[in-house]
Structure 1
Amino acid sequence: MKAYVFPGQGAQFTGMGKDLYENSEIAREMFEKANEILGFRITDIMFEGTAEELKETKVTQPAVFLHSVILAKTLDNFTPEMVAGHSLGEFSALVANGTLAFEDALKLVSQRALAMQKACEIKPSTMAAVLGLEDAIVEQVCNEIDGVVVAANYNCPGQLVISGETTAVEKACEALKEAGAKRALILPVGGAFHSPMMEPAREELAAAIEATTFNQPICPVYQNVTAAAVNDPNEIKKNLILQLTAPVKWTQSVQQMIADGASLFTEVGPGKVLVGLIKKINKEAETHSA
């Protein structure tokens, strides 16, 4: 079975999508529509902007989403039998399987980015990558730290990202190194994504998601929150709302997709981060970058 996967924030690069714009009429139309919806020329920043300009959350999230969705639209024989996206990438996956219309998804992604930005400004918070420890040990150490710090991204075996209040994350990093982590390093992110610190953003986004039409998908989406195949539009909606404060179960999602018959994973979007993670989750998996 053909599985298509879509990257999240962090995959962006200067010049992303420029070749699509120049070589495809469909891509050009979609990019111009996006400029109109967002109210600024995101294409200028994507094609010519600095890394610093691209890193702004209100730019990054729509930029990665646009690159993924427009690339998928221009692929030959794009017939997904299962889809999944890492964090923000779940919105791209939901356009790919027909759950969300392109315009609706872009509006939600833009609102998500702004809501997350606001939530980040309420209290100092951050994320850290923990390498070389079992998930259960990382979870246990986080539970023992005073303050908010939780497992946020289960990326692949031996790579887990934690998220929470800055001081709690810093304390957890020290404790995790003592527990045998090869590395525990603070990431250059705007705040504590996929943690309780995102509750104000979740509430804000919930209203926007509730007001959006979710269609019957053409194939299941393996959602971050459940790591299971979901076909029901109401369940997809509910999981998408929970996603901001819940962990991204990427390892578990990929394992479940393989168990359900995924034979080829194609990453659609900027970079090759997910292809790398999938190979670490299962080295036998066949992967491809669109």
Structure 2
Amino acid sequence: MMKAAFIFPGQGAQKIGMGKDFYETFEVSKAVYDQASSWLGMDVCELCFEENDRLDITRYTQVGLLTTELAILKAVEEKGIRPVVTAGLSLGEYAAITAAGKISLEDALRVIDKRGLYMQEAVPVGGAMSAVIGLDMEVIRKVCEETEGIVEVANDNCPGQTVISGEAEAVAAAGEALKAAGARMVTPLKVSGPFHSSMLKGAGERLKPELEKVQWMNSDIPYVSNTTAELVEDKDKILPLLVRQVSESVRWQEDVKVMTDMGVDTFIEIGPGKTLAGFMKRIDRKIKCINIETVKDMEKLEALIC
């Protein structure tokens, strides 16, 4: 019997038109967009489907991307596929927690609206992030520690791909040092701030009262925390982890190991793009991972069900 994990991408996967075919094809998907628009007081369909300048602004990116992931999730769930575990990259962790049955759709969207806003407002002048390709994690950590200013590991995505985050000058200086240490490439990312660094700690603390309003639920499906790379089953552990998640590293490579150690044999990436599927190939080429981005991709699920 298949042991599936649902996984969800984070900020950066967004694109104009994402989810539109699901909105037009599946009533359950349409309902998610319509409910999100009503709950948040904004036209989420316009945000996701029509050309605009807002979708790449953190506040709106997070709303649009989570809505799309949850809309596609509802269509996947209609196929009768049930995961044994879920996980998501950064923002995607909120979709994972929803898919695991530990937070309602409405609560997840209301919290992510505030999370995006607080992260956007907390972004200090001069924050930056860079992707580091082809260098060992321990070397990266050592260089960051030796660099003057704030620069930290933000994401451990897969072997050979790490993201650093912090003050712009420190990130740039660390980038030069990392290239000198043997990095194949150091690429500045087009982001609006130093996400998953200690510079965002204030945004996490500001988010805490919003998380305290949520009615967290126990369920029989665990999810894997970005922050600790551990299975989370107890609802009482979720809130403090999400406060920390804003400013601490995303340990994606370790998250994947937790799930494969559980016996997961099929990963289903739900959302736009193939970011996580790409990471999976670099973590372990034997891992089976399919991505559900368009309605046509739903055909891949038929083969799993049969």
Residues of 2 paired with 1:256 and 1:27: CA distance? 30
Matches within 5 A, 1:126-141: 126-141=128-143
Does the CA contact (< 8 Å) of 2:10 and 2:89 recur in 1?
Answer: yes
Q: Normalised by the size of structure 1, how large is the TM-score?
A: 0.97
- The equivalent residue for 2:299 is none
Q: 2:266 aligns with which of 264, 268, 287?
A: 264
Please say if 1:107 is aligned against 2:107: no
Residues of 1 paired with 2:31 and 2:183: CA distance? 48
SS of 1:127's equivalent? Answer: strand
Q: 2:172 aligns with which of 170, 173, 186?
A: 170
- The equivalent residue for 2:84 is 81
SS of 2:16's equivalent? Answer: coil
CA drift of 1:112 comes to 0.3
Quick one: percent identity of the two aligned structures? 39
Please say if 1:67 is aligned against 2:58: no
SS of 1:207's equivalent? Answer: helix
SS of 1:3's equivalent? Answer: strand
Residues of 2 paired with 1:27 and 1:187: CA distance? 31
131-140 vs 251-260, greater mean Cα deviation: 251-260
- The equivalent residue for 2:125 is 123
- The equivalent residue for 1:39 is 41
Does the CA contact (< 8 Å) of 1:72 and 1:78 recur in 2?
Answer: no
Unaligned runs of 5+ in 2: 293-306
SS of 1:19's equivalent? Answer: helix
Unaligned runs of 5+ in 1: none
Residues of 2 paired with 1:81 and 1:151: CA distance? 30
- The equivalent residue for 2:300 is none
**Superposed structure 1 runs of 4+ greater than 4 Å apart:** none
CA drift of 1:211 comes to 2.1
CA drift of 1:20 comes to 1.1
- The equivalent residue for 2:207 is 205
- The equivalent residue for 2:304 is none
Does the CA contact (< 8 Å) of 2:32 and 2:70 recur in 1?
Answer: no
- The equivalent residue for 1:246 is 248
Q: Over the residues paired in the alignment, what is the CA RMSD in angstroms?
A: 1.0
Task: For residues 35-88 of structure 1, give each alpha carbon's deviation from its aligned partner in whole angstroms, at most 9, with x where no partner exists.
Answer: 1122110211211124x3310112111111111111111111131100000000
Residues of 2 paired with 1:278 and 1:228: CA distance? 18
Task: For residues 1-36 of structure 1, give each alpha carbon's deviation from its aligned partner in whole angstroms, at most 9, with x where no partner exists.
Answer: 211100100111111111111112222222111111
SS of 1:211's equivalent? Answer: coil
Q: Normalised by the size of structure 2, how large is the TM-score?
A: 0.92
CA drift of 1:240 comes to 1.3
SS of 2:258's equivalent? Answer: helix
Does the CA contact (< 8 Å) of 1:85 and 1:93 recur in 2?
Answer: yes
- The equivalent residue for 1:219 is 221
Q: How many residues align?
A: 288
CA drift of 1:238 comes to 1.6
